[in-house]
Amino acid sequence: MIKTLLVDDHPSFRMPLAFMFEQEPDLKVIAQAGSLAEARETLERVGPSVDLVLVDLDLPDGSGTKLIREVHAANPNALVLVLSAFSERKWLAQAIEAGAAGILHKSSHVGEVIDAVRRLWAGEHLISPKEVVEATRFMDRQRQEDREAQQLFAKLTPREREVLQALANGLSDKELAQNLHVDVDTVQTHMGNIRSKLEVASRLQALVFAVRHSVVKIE
């Protein structure tokens, strides 16, 4: 009997999947969770007895990737199968690096999911060594890019960061000048300094760069 924990914030997806699992003689759903916080609480209770965790990466209170490592910490023998609508390489690479044993798109037929669970439990690999190596290399490059980006952001003054956040808030140069009690020319000078320090060609590039590295938030 493969004892499973289902972690997905959409009951319309999770509950039918649980029902189908229960129709199989070798599968048993011992718990369900709809958020990262709920999954953590559930893991404390059933962690030692769970065999396999199906987890969505896009949870309302955080990334399911965080849960993968916590599953292994609670039960080193447990397997994690990711079911996600994400297809971006970054998210999948993070899941592999965290220790996911397999990854399926949420559009997969329930029969494919059940087959993947059985294959993993039988010791088969759903992720090839080549994919693991590629994911590791990708994450290494991402970390290097993040370090380089933070070095650029460190050059910004507090006022320039304030201007960059105002840009993310959608303020015009005139509105920003009024908020900062300066003239428009000063605002444009700040914008020029930001572009120069971040080594980008436009304020839009500066905004995208800052959002990507979580320096500003879009409100």
**Which CATH number does the domain housing residue 35 bear?**
3.40.50.2300
State whether 82 and 160 are in the same domain.
no
Whether residue 39 lies inside any domain: the answer is yes
Distance from C-alpha of 194 to C-alpha of 216, rounded to nearest angstrom: 13
If asked whether residues 22 and 112 sit together in one domain, one would say yes
Q: Give pLDDT, residue 111.
A: 92
Say if 19 falls within a structural domain: yes
Whether 219 maps to a domain, the answer reads no
205 is in which domain, residue-wise? 155-212
> Is 122 part of a structural domain of the chain?
yes
DSSP state string for 61-129: TEETHHHHHHHHHH-TT-EEEEEES---HHHHHHHHHHT-SEEEETTS-HHHHHHHHHHHHTT--SS-H
The pTM is what?
0.68
pLDDT for residue 87: 67
Cα maximum dimension of the chain: 73
pLDDT confidence of residue 133:
75
What pLDDT is recorded for position 143?
A: 79
Last residue of a domain, one of 136, 170, 193: 136
CB burial class (10 A; 0-12, 13-18, 19+) of residue 190?
buried
Number of domains in the chain: 2
Residues 51, 10 share a domain = yes
What secondary structure does DSSP assign to 34-75, as a single string?
A: SSHHHHHHHHHHHGGG--EEEE-SEETTEETHHHHHHHHHH-
Consecutive H or E run containing 196: helix 184-198
- Tell me: do 38 and 127 sit in the same domain: yes
Q: Is residue 54 part of a domain?
A: yes
Quick one: 90 and 185 in the same domain?
no
One pLDDT digit (tens) per residue for the chain, 219 residues:
999 999 999 999 999 999 999 999 999 999 999 999 999 999 999 888 999 999 998 899 988 888 999 998 889 999 999 988 876 777 788 888 888 898 888 888 999 999 999 999 998 887 766 777 777 787 778 778 888 888 999 999 999 998 889 888 888 888 888 888 888 889 889 989 999 999 988 888 888 888 888 888 776
Domain boundary (84, 106, 136) is at: 136
Predicted local distance difference test score (pLDDT) of residue 25: 94
- Say if residue 16 is in the same domain as residue 109: yes
The angle at the Cα of 63, spanning 102 to 81, to the nearest 5 degrees, equals: 15
